[in-house]
Structure 1
Amino acid sequence: MRSALIALLAGAATVTPHAAPYAAEHGPAPAAGAPAVTPERPETGAASIAGASLAPFAAELAQMPMITNATGWHGATGEAGWALLAGSRPETRQRNRWTYALGLIGEGRGADALGVLDVMQSSDRDLGLVAPFLLARGVALTLVQRDAEAVEALSFQELAANPEACAWRMRALAHAGDAQSAIRQVNCALPAINGRSPHDRAPFVLAAAGAAIDAGQPQPALAWLKLFNDQDPQANVLRGRAMVATGDPQGGKLRLDRAALSGGDEIKAQARLGTIEAGLATHSLSPTEAAKQLDALRFGWRGGAIEQRVLEIQLRLANEAHDLRGQLRAGAALIRYFKLGSKVPPMLAELQAQLAAALAPDSGVPLPEAAGLYWDYRELAPAGAEGDALVLRLAGRLQDASLYARAAELLQYQLTKRAQDVAQGPLSVKVAMLHILAGRPDRALDAIRTTEQPSYSDAMRQDRKRVEAVALYRLGKTDAAAAALDGLSDAPAIRAEMRWQSKDWGNFVTANALPAPKAGFSEPAQTAVLRQAVAYAMLGREDQLAALRARYTPAFKGLASASAFDVLTRKVGSIDPAAIGAAMTSIPQASPAGATGDLLDAAS
């Protein structure tokens, strides 16, 4: 029905200025090729001029009397409304749409009214500046429970003291869970509410009563609820909650039980929640049992004021029990899914402090559990440098514990969701290194390639190329890895390290850069020579092995690795296998390729 209506409205908006009047007065337009029919009299006025634009409806609507009570929501709907729309001329179309929208609102058909109003605004953007239009839009949005948008529309300056706007604004705020703001609208809204029939007034009074209870003012709520009969289930839910709040939990529980017997699903959920609150107030229900019942209630009911109240009670119980995970779970859900207004800053600050304390090294929370808490509630982490430092410390602890995959996941989120521009450079290197150490070189490669930017410094580009080369090597793409190192000053040493790791002895002896023989060899220099000896021995190149021995014996004199050099450079057939094994283990661990070599070795 609604889609057909919008199609009619939208279609009418595309008719040319002459089409509608012609059809209305002379019947259908002649078919193509048929003889033209000359009307008995010509069109007159602005609409008869081809291409003339009609005056916008916004100015006309702004001049109309303001709607201040329920009597303003009337207009032709049904067949009469359709006929009115279908017969509209361009100069009357927006006025007829407006009348139709008012009638739909009067019938409580918010979705249909909203469709009409949207079509009107698409034809005349200035309607968004007109108070009556914003009032109608706010009412329609309230009827379809789009509360935040409704409050925004109804907060137009000219509607601030309008009783009808105050009534609907109160209703939207109450449904959105902003009880304090809703209560502040009551005095302004009273003339519009009291001017309605008892039946039409009910939703507004119930909204005001519910907001008063949520705002800690149950006595006025009980007075307002006297307007409803004793059997009304929605009124009984609110009476029950108000009685519990005023110190009569037994009487309140009776009202809640009565409501659950006669109400629908939503009433039953509200009554169940009220009963749990009553049990907590009388201490007939333990916090542990209440938490279980609240979980069961939330499992069967999602969204709206009911779930918000469930979460608020769960947060309070978790705070009282010092249950960190319960606090984070309830608080995060409230912040994620509900508009809490001024409640958010203090709640968020408290949750952030609790999360930071749990992630501290001296918190006593086991490291895997701390990492899980951060991952589950990472949107609660502080913003800016403080939040960055928090996650970097946690990732460092995970790395120290060899939990590389967990550390990479934390920093990957940081890389994609929080780091910006050049800050992604060093973080991408860190993330890629952790992925490599975790045995996931494909993810390392992705971390580098998806964060490429032209603004990186030369040093940062070189660091990224080194890690990219290691990832390619770990994927078995040795030639591609060697090519990725082009232009780096330490490329020969890294390529030699790759050949050493893959036991490619022939290419290793070519790529390995031997240092000049001198006293005081560094450990990386010793490693380069000893590895060359191993490669010559594996290749059976005794002449080159002998030359290596003659060249470097003086340089190894007095070093801890001198015995290893002596063993590894003897004639191949004269070496005891056991001695070779001992010599290999005594080769210094420092790689000639520096940190990149260490990464290649650690990931192998």
Structure 2
Amino acid sequence: MTFSEGVQGKLRQMLWALLVLLSLPVMAVDFGTIAVRVGQHTDYSRAVFDLPREVPYSVRTDGSTLTIRIEAGFDADLGAIRRGVLRGMAAPSISRDGDITTVTVTMPAGAGPRHFRSGSSIVLDVMDVAPASVVSGQSVAPASAAERNAPSRPQPTPPAETPREEPATTPTPSTETPAFEGRSADYPRLQPAFRALAEGGVQLALPITAPDVGLAFFKRSTEAWLVVDRPFAVDADALVRGSQGVVTSVARVDHPDATILRLGLEGDPSLSVMRDGAGWQLSFKPLRTAPRFPLKPIKRIDTPAGQQIFIASGAAGRRIAVTDPLIGDDLVIVPLVEGGQGMAEAFRYTVAEVGETAQGIVVVPYSDEVRVERFRDGVAVMSGDARYAEGDAARDQALRRLIDFNAWRQGEVEDYYEVRTRLLYALSLRPTDDRNEARWDLARFYLAHGRATEALAILEMMLDEDPALSGNGEYLAVRGVANVKKGRLQAADADLSNDSLTAEQDVSLWKVLVDEGLNRPERALADYRRGVDVLGPYDDRDKADIQLAVIRAAMKTGDMDLAKRELELLGGVALTDRQLSERVLLSARIDEQEGREEDALIAYDSLAMAPQRGIGAEARHVRAAHDIRKGILSGTEAIETLEQLRYAWRGNGLEFDLLNELADLYFAAGRYEEGLERLRVGVTYFPDRAREARMSAKMSQVFRRLYLEGEADRMDPVAAIGLFYKFRELTPLGADGDAMIRRLADRLVALDLIDQAAELLEYQVKVRTEGAPRAAIASRLAKLYLLNSDPERALGTLRATREPQLPVEIELDRRLVEARALTELGRYEEAEVLIEEDNDRASNLLRADIYWQSKDWPKMVDAGLKLLEGKGTGGEPLEPGDRVQLLRLAIAMTFDENKTGLAVLRRRFAEDMKQGEFSNAFALLTGPQDLSGGEISQIVSQIANVSSLQSFLKDYRNDFSGD
């Protein structure tokens, strides 16, 4: 991509921002009185209007009159300009019409203005008048060697063939370093500092605070050249000592207008350069690097000035001509102001070489007729030699790339169908069992043209022919990138994580997209640090996607400095409409985090209806999240808003976040089923993200609160059981899960929902437990069947869950329940045998029931007397159950014609039975007179409703209720 194409991208960004602004209501802006700072620089005059926030503005010229129109009302003191402080500006005036302020100044004829923002301030420069360049079409005599080596001033704008976009820099206001003449000891001192890099190598920080200082950094032979277009004094010994062995020597090349240092290197480190605010960071790294914003020369033949090579770039510093004392070549070096702009490879032409650089431009002319001129938007290499444009550039291949779309395209976009036909024809000529070489070219061609589906299909055919490719690193890299392009992140992760690709920086860049997409932000940033040095040569679309992923990952990890730095670097990349919208969105999110809430909300609202539906949905989401945090939306309104967003956009992290947030809102509203359902969808469709967010753990915690800690007790019981069955896979194993089920079953029994309680315990017996716990729960289930008058099922459950060895208490409980079931089935002898060795009260009660129901009156008498031992006159008082047992004992004695026994009962219990239930019946049974059969039947009927089974089941109910 040429720099002009990058500027076109910026213009699209500006147009989008303008559309956003136009959609907003017009608000009056009054700034009162603002400060105006001025400064006279070497080759331009500067005025800075310090506005409190960004507002639209425009600049126009009419002859020698320069007018700046600012859409805000304010007053300003222009006295410094009136006093003639600036040689490029005079006769200032200021006028205000409502919310529009207009400032006019006069400038010398032929002078060129430039303008840009610095934060919210507006910077206006008037460049000094310079002689017209050869590219203007005027006749210029060839320069002498001395003239060619002299420092140059900024040149006027070249003709229409040269792009004329404004500089892309956004300088930071600071104290500038003036140009000095004289010995280096008289220059301002520069204090460079080294630090070790985590990924290996060292980094040199140059604390140059002036925003318009240009820098060049490149290797020649075994040396690194560091060129700054301002003179500084540098302590060479300190620089060597601090470099941790990377820099072995420092030699200064004398120059009156620049600092030129030749750094001897240990080994062959790669160089890279980035801006750090107004300063510079120069890195020496063991792995290969490329400029962040690579420059590329283009040949121009039909220009008014003749033939030229033009290198589009940002703002250029002084042109510096010098001789390499080691090799003897004459060099023309043009430092650049914007960080990361260099030549990723060398280009050799008939009359000059444009060398590889980490920063800046270096030209090696082959004759005195070659001139290097710098312009506002780039650098031109010109010669009168007619052969100049006839030679082809011989490109260095030192920077071999594993992923190289430019090479794989085999031409321009418009050549697609022609190249595809040629590749398919070449494939058709190959034998059917030897086509992978031709397929390989075709697969990479498809991928380079954005056709990942076709590329994957060809790659699959290759694997069918040669299964060994599954372990080939280059094949896996290409397939991994194709999978990334298709959004198949899991498959891409498997391909790009192959051990053979660990050291590949290109692969690390694509893994950024994979890791961020799979919600692994820390890994994404680690991958980015490994691969960032080779990002520069990538297409702008891929470069922007990677940078946007880095910004998202940095924001997730709280690294806001990195997020803001990458957001600023996106300004030098041509963005698609989608990428531009996302950049605006991410910028707004940073604004919100840093307290610029009003600006952020304006951006969210402007993006809500963006043509990119995903971006629009995300903007609405972050706006809704803000309103929820601030309490602007009620719980019900928040749920409704987020549910609408679920249908506005499906897939990726946005839907997952919506599901997670909706679940929390539903739980807060007591709508547990809907909340758990949203979490279940998240776990099902986004398993990796759900794992990272511990979504399953959240579901389990809510389920525990409901069924173990008692929150479900506030729900309708039928709804509670329905919710349990719908999400019963959340029931934990072990004691907690058993306690949940028991608690719910107990509540259902208390509400006479025996069938529902039995279903719960059936699930526990059949699915969840084994061994002794299963036998214990089966006993409780059998009790429920008895409560539900189903002794057959109770007996079947017990016999199906027998265990060879059980704790004594569980074994006794199971025998009692089984004996009760046999009793209800009329199988009295089996029941009696089952508990014949048990002598506890529960067994004695059951034994009395067996004799009662089998009408074995003698045994009933013995059992009854045993149950009433210690009761009666002088003993323990009778309990309610004892009164029933006493009445049953009297009836048994009556049927057994045991009058002596009846007399004993009368003496022993007459006083206790005078009052209360069954007092009359007891008196009749134990009285001296004989009772008729009818009278006895009537008494028996009185206790029919309080039969032994009912008494027994009452105990069971108490067991379930915990009483």
- For Structure 1 versus Structure 2, the TM-score category normalised by the shorter chain is 0.5 to 0.7
Q: Residue 689 of structure 2 aligns to which amino acid in structure 1?
A: L
Q: Give the counterpart letter for 1:426 in structure 2.
A: A
1:88 and 2:447 correspond: no
Match of 1:175 among 513, 517, 527: 517
CA contact (8 A) 1:519 1:556 kept: no
2:541 touches 2:574 (CA, 8 Å); kept in 1?
no
Letter in 1 for 2:526: R
Q: Does the aligned pair in 2 maintain the 1:433–1:444 contact within 8 Å?
A: yes
Deviation readout 1:446-495 (Å, 9 max, x if unpaired) = 9889x869888699899889989999999xxx79x9999999668xx99x
Letter in 1 for 2:564: Q
Alpha-carbon distance in structure 2 between the residues aligned to 1:73 and 1:461: 78
What amino acid is the match of 2:652?
G
In the alignment, the residues of structure 2 paired with residue 376 and residue 304 of structure 1 have an alpha-carbon distance, to the nearest angstrom, of: 27
CA–CA distance in structure 1, aligned partners of residues 456 and 757 of structure 2: 49
In structure 2, the residue matched to 1:12 is none
Letter of the structure 2 residue corresponding to residue 182 of structure 1: A
TM-score (norm 1): 0.60
Does 2:226 align with 1:226?
A: no
Query: How far has the Cα of 1:166 moved from its partner?
Result: 1.8
Please name the residue that 2:641 is paired with. Answer: 293
Q: Which residue of 1 aligns with 2:529?
A: 187
Contact 2:473 2:500 in 1 (8 A): yes
Q: Which amino acid aligns with 2:591?
A: T
Deviates more, 1:197-206 or 1:107-116: 107-116
Quote the residue 2:944 is aligned against.
Answer: 584
Q: 1: CA distance between counterparts of 2:889 and 2:462?
A: 83
Further displaced range: 373-382 or 252-261: 373-382
- Of 617, 625, 635, which residue of structure 2 is paired with 1:269? 617
Which residue of 558, 576, 587 corresponds with 1:242?
Answer: 587
The answer to whether residue 549 in structure 2 is matched with residue 207 in structure 1 is yes
Of 578-587 and 435-444, the range deviating more from structure 2: 435-444
Of residues 934, 937, 941 in structure 2, which corresponds to 1:574?
934
When residues 121 and 364 of structure 1 are mapped into structure 2, their CA distance, relative to the original with a 3 A threshold, is closer
**Which amino acid is 1:575 matched to?**
E
2: CA distance, partners of 1:526 / 1:280? 66
CA distance in 2, matches of 1:525, 1:131: 87
Instruction: Report what 1:366 is aligned to.
Output: 714
| Aligned-partner Cα distance in 1 for 2:818–2:685 | 40
Match of 1:59?
none
User: For the structure 1 residues 355 and 110, does the alpha-carbon distance in structure 2 shift closer, same or farther, using more than 3 Å as the test?
Assistant: same
1:129-165 deviation digits (Å, cap 9, x = unpaired): 4433443443344344332343244223332332332
Deviations 1:313-347 (A, max 9, x none): 4567789x7979598676666556532378545x7
Q: Is the 8 A contact 1:137 1:153 kept in 2?
A: yes
Aligned to 2:769, which of 419, 427, 430?
419
Kept in 2, the 8 Å contact 1:513–1:528? The answer is no
Indicate conservation of the 8 Å contact 2:890/2:902, yes or no. Answer: no
| Identity across the alignment (%) | 22
1:520 corresponds to 2:870: no
- 2:490 match: 148
Q: Where in structure 2 are the equivalents of 1:311-460 lying within 5 Å?
A: 311-314=659-662, 325=672, 334=682, 337-338=685-686, 339-340=688-689, 343-344=692-693, 356=704, 366=714, 368=716, 371=720, 384-400=734-750, 402-404=752-754, 407-408=757-758, 411=761, 414-415=764-765, 418-419=768-769, 423-431=773-781, 433-434=783-784, 437=787
TM-score, normalised via structure 2 length: 0.41
Q: Deviations over 1:225-257 (max 9, x none)?
A: 435668824432442243133234444444444
Report the equivalent of 1:49: none
Q: CA deviation at 1:574?
A: 3.3
**Contact 1:381/1:387, CA 8 A, preserved across alignment:** yes
Aligned to 1:21: none
- Is the Cα contact below 8 Å between 2:567 and 2:587 reproduced in 1? yes
Shift of 1:209: 3.6
Deviation at 1:293, TM superposition (A): 0.9
Moved more, 122-131 or 70-79: 70-79
Of residues 36, 46, 67, the one that matches 2:402 is 67
Measured in 2, the distance between the counterparts of 1:446 and 1:234 equals 68
1:194 Cα offset (Å): 3.1
User: Which residue identity is paired with 1:171?
Assistant: L
Conserved 8 A contact 1:117-1:137: yes
Does the 8 Å contact 2:746/2:757 carry over to 1? yes
Evaluate the alpha carbon distance shift between residue 230 and residue 577 of structure 1 in structure 2; reply closer, same or farther with a 3 A threshold: same
Q: Which residue of 2 aligns with 1:158?
A: 500
Q: Which amino acid aligns with 1:584?
A: A
Q: Distance in 1 between matches of 2:797 and 2:462?
A: 49
**1:214, CA displacement in angstroms?**
4.0
Q: Tell me: CA distance 1:435–1:587, structure 2 relative to 1, closer, same or farther (3 Å).
A: closer
Letter paired with 2:777: L
In 1, Cα distance between the equivalents of 2:450 and 2:785?
A: 58
Q: Secondary structure at the match of 2:516?
A: helix
Whole-angstrom CA distance in 1 between matches of 2:786 and 2:452: 57
- Taking a change above 3 Å as real, the CA distance of residues 508 and 332 of structure 1, as seen in their structure-2 partners, is same
Distance in 2 (CA, whole Å) between partners of 1:131 and 1:472 is 74
CA RMSD of aligned residues (A): 6.0
Q: 1:230 to 1:167 in 2, by over 3 A?
A: closer
Q: How does 1:482-497 map to 2 (within 5 A)?
A: none
Compared with structure 1, are the counterparts of its residues 70 and 435 closer, same or farther at alpha carbon in structure 2 (3 Å cutoff)?
farther
Shift of 1:382: 5.7
What residue identity is the alignment partner of 2:568?
A
**Counterpart of 2:527 in structure 1: which amino acid?**
Q
Aligned residues: 510
Per mean C-alpha deviation after superposition, the further-off stretch among 155-164 and 328-337 is 328-337
Deviations 1:248-296 (A, max 9, x none): 4444444444544442443332232133245457776566533431132
Structure 2 residues without counterparts, runs of 5 or longer: 1-399, 411-418, 837-841, 869-880
Structure 1 segments unaligned to the other structure (5+ residues): 1-64, 537-543
CA distance in 2, matches of 1:162, 1:519: 91
**How far apart, CA to CA, are the structure 2 residues paired with 1:519 and 1:389?**
38
Deviations, residues 336-374 of structure 1 (Å, cap 9, x unaligned): 6532378545x7767766665565668796265795676
Distance 2:816 2:459 in 1: 60
Q: CA 1:576–1:529 in 2, change beyond 3 Å: closer, same or farther?
A: closer
Larger Rg: 2
- Alpha-carbon distance in structure 2 between the residues aligned to 1:513 and 1:74: 106
Tell me the secondary structure at the aligned position of residue 865 of structure 2.
coil
Structure with the higher fraction of residues in strand conformation: 2
State the partner residue of 1:18: none
| Cα distance change of structure 1 residues 384 and 546 upon mapping to structure 2, 3 Å threshold | closer
Q: Structure 1 residues 355, 584: CA separation in 2 closer, same or farther (over 3 Å shift)? A: closer
